[in-house]
């Protein structure tokens, strides 16, 4: 028997329509690439998103066409999101931090017909435009006064186009399984692969992300997504905020500690989200200036493991609750969120911190299992670790154009490429990327655990651990460190520091100090580069 409820479709346009109807005066504040701060409201933004929908139609784009963006977090970028997805087009957020060849590859692979770009990225597109035969027009997200001199042909000024477009537009109703947006994996090997989200997957993901035990956004919140809109849709915040009518603050291109701090304070932000690198810069700024955080209540940390010292500093020194989250492009991206759980919410300080260092609890909507290399499910005991696999309505079924072939197992689970433990309460802990785990004497050593322990040293700014070849044990850990300015740290002091913190056989065989570590376009350690760099490294005593 079928249910007798309305089959209204779950569509991206409805988030903004809701905000327009009931939160129209709520503000959206952006730090502009052009310099000044800009203030608008959901009501005004909704009108301009309709103009975007009309201008896309005026330019000859129709249902299913793909529009690329290379833009920082800001109100214009948000208008383009809603104008495209809302009218049945696909919004492809290009990560400008990828290598130019990769950017050209994904714009072609996605078949972007128009690019909306911030001023920052004009030189980048000028450099690769000859490799983009399908791009018909480049729209620069600025006004007439700031239009740059450019060698690009078929270039247009966003504000001019918008002024000429009507704001009368009825968001169309269509099948919720229609594609809404597109992101590419930031793969460290091979070409990036496209992950094509639907209106349905985006909506369900976002509603779950808005749960109190997840992002927990409320109308009374002021939310600043520092995580870029080109990094898996800024973890859904520009979708979820209009659903609840939260005030939005976009930091633009200035992500250094001082600028992020200025925005947090000036707009009295209550909730924010970003990768650990950003928070490291903020905490260093606070330490240097002695400044306090007067409004911030919660910070979401994800994308890479949140170091214990970072969680502790936010909470104990600044009174800001940390939510450690995990996810990936293929998961829209959220999969686990580290919110307090009944029965485990009154642990002694150190145990509570241990729990928060885990990547969080499985969200409703995501099914999760860990398996051994033969695909056998391992116990959910918090100790056994294996390949982490996931299934759910906001997790990909296949990559764009079928890249990479079949990616689900026989039960429909996607292999995340992470190695993890899972406990009876649903707390998941990443012990490594499958390809980064150090295989020593038939056992696995977690490079992430070692890195986390190393950054606990007050003189360590950043740490990476890779496996290097060992004739007896196959691989042994090598610790690579960027020390803080003025540190007097050496190998033996570092090993002594780690000794009480990790199992004896996990202790790195050697420690090297470098000026900086290589990172991917999304701020993760680029271990392939490190492995290449240290492939001939000879451990002491060999
Ligand atoms: P991306 O698709 O670029 O967001 O990368 C996803 C990958 O980032 C995951 O598969 C993890 O390996 C890693 N990752 C994301 N969040 C965390 C976290 N909180 N701790 C450790 N690794 C993480």
Does pLDDT of 46 surpass 80?
A: yes
CA angle (27 as vertex; 24, 33 as ends), nearest 5: 130
* pLDDT average, residue stretch 207-234: 97
CATH number at residue 409: 2.30.38.10
Ligand 1 pocket check: which of 184, 185, 389, 430 to mutate, most ligand atoms within 8 Å of Cβ?
Answer: 430
**58-68 per-position pLDDT tens digit:** 999 999 999 99
Question: Are 409 and 470 found together in one domain?
Answer: no
Token pair in block for residue 355? 């729990």
CA distance 105 to 141: 22
Whether 359 maps to a domain, the answer reads no
Confidence at residue 222, expressed as pLDDT on a 0 to 100 scale = 98
Question: Which DSSP helix (H) or strand (E) runs through 70?
Answer: strand 66-70
DSSP 290-313: ----SS--EEEE-SSPPPHHHHHI
Round to whole Å and give the CA distance between 15 and 18: 5
The pLDDT score that the predictor gives to residue 188 is 58
CA distances from 187 to 173, 218, 387, 495 (A): 35, 34, 18, 32
Q: Residues 157, 23: one domain?
A: yes
Contact 449, 442 (CB under 8 A): no
For residue 142, is it within any domain? yes
Buried b (16+ CB within 10 A) or exposed e, 434-451: eebbbebeeeebbbbbbb
Strands 222-225 and 298-301, sheet pairing:
unpaired
Q: Could you read off the pLDDT of 499-534 as tens digits, one per residue?
A: 999 889 999 999 999 999 998 877 788 998 999 999
Strand, coil or helix: 534: coil
Considering the domain architecture, whether residues 380 and 523 belong to the same structural domain is answered as: no
Does any domain span residue 325? no
Contact 225, 273 (CB under 8 A): yes
Q: Which of 414, 433, 452 is the last residue in one of the domains?
A: 433
What distance in angstroms lies between residue 328's CA and the mean position of ligand 1's atoms? 6
From the CA of 150, how far away is ligand 1's center (Å)? Answer: 37
Does 444 lie in the same domain as 425?
no
Tokens of 164: 């000429």
- Report the separation in Å between the CA atom of 281 and the middle of ligand 1, taken as the mean of its atom positions: 20
Provide Rg for the chain, Cα atoms. Answer: 23
Instruction: Compare 24 and 485 and report the one with higher pLDDT.
Output: 24
85-131 pLDDT, tens digit per residue, is: 999 999 999 999 888 999 999 999 999 999 999 999 999 999 999 99
Of 375, 406, 433, the position where a domain reaches its end is: 433
Model-level pTM greater than 0.85? yes
Closest-CA residue to 451 (of 470, 438, 434): 438
Ligand 1 center from residue 303 Cα (angstroms): 4
Q: What is the CATH number of the domain that holds 32?
A: 3.40.50.12780
How many structural domains comprise the chain? 3
Q: Which atom of ligand 1 is nearest to the CA of 186?
A: 3
Q: Which two tokens stand for residue 181?
A: 């947006």
- pLDDT above 80 (res 55): yes
* Whole-angstrom distance, CA of residue 29 vs CA of residue 224: 9
pLDDT, average across residues 193-216? 97
Residue 162 confidence (pLDDT) above 80: yes
| Residue 347 burial (C-beta neighbours within 10 Å; 0-12, 13-18, 19+) | middle
Q: 119 and 75 in contact (C-beta within 8 Å)?
A: no
Query: Mean pLDDT, to the nearest integer, of 288-296?
Result: 97
How many angstroms is it from 359 CA to the middle of ligand 1?
Answer: 10
* pLDDT per position as a tens digit, 362-394: 999 999 999 988 899 999 999 998 999 999 999
- With 0-12 / 13-18 / 19 or more C-beta atoms within 10 angstroms meaning exposed / middle / buried, residue 352 is middle
Ligand 1 atom with the smallest distance to the CA of 433 is 12
Residues 158 and 25 in one domain: yes
Q: At what angle do helices 447-455 and 491-498 cross, to 10 degrees?
A: 110
User: Which residues have any ligand 1 atom within 6 Å of their CB?
Assistant: 185-186, 232, 302-305, 324-326, 328-329, 333, 359, 416-418, 430, 433, 522
* pLDDT score for 345: 87
Which of 211, 245, 268 finishes a domain? Answer: 211
CATH number of 459's domain: 3.30.300.30
Provide the annotated active-site residues.
185, 330, 439, 444
Residues 489 and 524 grouped into a single domain:
yes
Contact 206, 194 (CB under 8 A): no
Question: What is the residue range of 191's domain?
Answer: 13-211
In a domain, 226, yes or no: no
- What is the spatial distance between Cα 174 and Cα 181, in angstroms, rounded to a whole number? 15
Q: 416 with 516, same domain?
A: no
Is there a domain that residue 264 lies in? no
Do 101 and 19 fall within a single domain?
Answer: yes
pLDDT score recorded for residue 189 = 62
Q: Are residues 397 and 527 in the same domain?
A: no
Domain membership of residue 317 (yes or no) is no
Nearest CA to ligand 1 atom 1: 328
243, 92, 66, 58: which is closest to 160 by C-alpha?
58
Per-residue pLDDT tens digits for 419-436: 999 999 999 999 888 889
In this structure, are residues 142 and 157 in contact, taking their beta carbons and an 8 Å threshold? yes
Alpha carbons 385 and 382: distance in angstroms, whole number: 8
Q: Hey, whose CA ends up nearest to atom 15 of ligand 1? A: 303
Distance of alpha carbon 397 from its chain centroid, rounded? 20
Verify that 113 and 188 share a domain, yes or no: yes
What distance in Å separates the CA atoms of residue 356 and residue 366, rounded to the nearest whole number?
20
Within a domain: residue 253? no
Q: What are the backbone angles phi and psi of residue 191, rounded to the nearest 5°?
A: -75, 150
Closest ligand 1 atom to Cα of 232: 4
Residue of minimum CA distance from atom 4 in ligand 1: 328
Alpha carbon nearest to ligand 1 atom 22, residue: 304
Residue 145 lies in a domain: yes
78/171 same-domain check: yes
pLDDT of 521 reads: 78
CA torsion angle for 393, 398, 400, 402 (degrees, to 10)? -160
Burial readout 30-48 (b: 16 or more C-beta within 10 A, e: otherwise): bbbbeeeebebbbebbbbb
Distance 145 CA to ligand 1 centre (A): 41
In the sheet that holds 222-225, the strands lie side by side as 37-41, 27-31, 247-250, 222-225, 271-274, 298-301, 321-327, 334-337, 361-362
**Ligand 1 atom at shortest distance from the alpha carbon of 417:** 10
CA-CA-CA-CA torsion for 104, 81, 302, 527, nearest 10 degrees?
A: 0
Q: Are residues 525 and 475 in the same domain?
A: yes
Q: Whose CA is nearest to atom 23 of ligand 1?
A: 304
């Amino acid at each position: 028997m079928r249910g007798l409820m309305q089959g209204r479709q779950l569509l991206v346009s409805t988030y903004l329509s809701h905000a327009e109807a009931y939160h129209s005066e709520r503000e959206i504040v952006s730090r502009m690439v052009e310099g000044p701060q800009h203030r608008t409201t959901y009501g005004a933004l909704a009108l301009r998103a309709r103009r975007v929908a009309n201008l896309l139609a005026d330019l000859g784009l129709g249902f299913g066409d793909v529009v690329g963006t290379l833009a920082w977090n800001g109100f214009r970028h948000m208008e383009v999101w809603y104008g495209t997805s809302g009218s049945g087009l696909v919004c492809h957020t290009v990560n400008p931090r990828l290598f130019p060849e990769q950017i050209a590859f994904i714009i072609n692979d996605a078949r972007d017909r128009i690019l909306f770009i911030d001023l920052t990225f004009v030189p980048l597109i000028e450099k690769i435009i000859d490799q983009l035969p399908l791009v018909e027009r480049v729209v620069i997200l600025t006004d007439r006064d700031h239009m740059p001199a450019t060698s690009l042909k078929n270039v247009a000024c966003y504000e001019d186009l918008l002024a000429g477009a009507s704001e009368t537009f009825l968001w169309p109703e269509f099948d919720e399984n229609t594609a809404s947006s597109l992101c590419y994996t930031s793969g460290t090997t091979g070409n990036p692969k496209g992950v094509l989200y639907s209106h349905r997957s985006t909506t369900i993901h976002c509603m779950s992300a808005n749960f109190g035990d997840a992002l927990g956004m409320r109308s009374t919140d002021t939310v600043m997504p520092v995580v870029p809109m080109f990094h898996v849709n800024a973890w859904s915040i520009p979708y979820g905020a209009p659903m609840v009518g939260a005030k939005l603050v976009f930091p633009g291109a200035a992500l250094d500690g001082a600028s992020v701090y200025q925005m947090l304070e000036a707009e009295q932000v209550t909730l924010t989200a970003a990768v650990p690198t950003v928070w490291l810069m903020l905490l260093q700024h606070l330490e240097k200036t002695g400044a306090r955080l007067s409004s911030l209540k919660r910070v979401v940390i994800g994308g890479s493991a949140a170091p214990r010292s970072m969680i502790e500093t936010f909470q104990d020194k600044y009174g800001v609750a940390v939510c450690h989250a995990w996810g990936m492009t293929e998961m829209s991206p959220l999969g686990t969120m580290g919110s307090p759980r009944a029965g485990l919410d009154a642990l002694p300080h150190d145990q509570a911190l241990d729990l928060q260092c885990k990547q969080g609890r499985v969200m409703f909507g995501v099914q999760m299992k860990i398996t051994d290399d033969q695909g056998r499910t391992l116990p959910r005991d918090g100790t056994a670790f294996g390949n982490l696999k996931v299934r759910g309505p906001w997790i990909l079924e296949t990559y764009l154009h079928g890249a990479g072939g079949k990616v689900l197992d026989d039960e429909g689970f996607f292999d995340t490429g992470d190695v993890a433990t899972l406990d009876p309460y649903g707390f998941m802990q990443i012990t490594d990327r499958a390809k980064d785990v150090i295989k020593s004497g038939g056992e696995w050593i977690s490079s992430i655990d070692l890195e986390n322990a190393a950054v606990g040293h007050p003189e360590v700014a950043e740490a990476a651990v890779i496996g290097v070849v060992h004739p007896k044990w196959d691989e042994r850990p090598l610790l690579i460190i960027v020390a803080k300015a003025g540190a007097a740290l050496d190998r033996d002091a570092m090993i002594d520091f780690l000794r009480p913190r990790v199992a004896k056989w996990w202790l790195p065989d050697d420690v090297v100090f470098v000026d900086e570590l290589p990172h991917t376009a999304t701020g993760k350690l680029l271990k392939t580069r490190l492995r290449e760099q240290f492939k001939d490294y000879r451990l002491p005593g060999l």
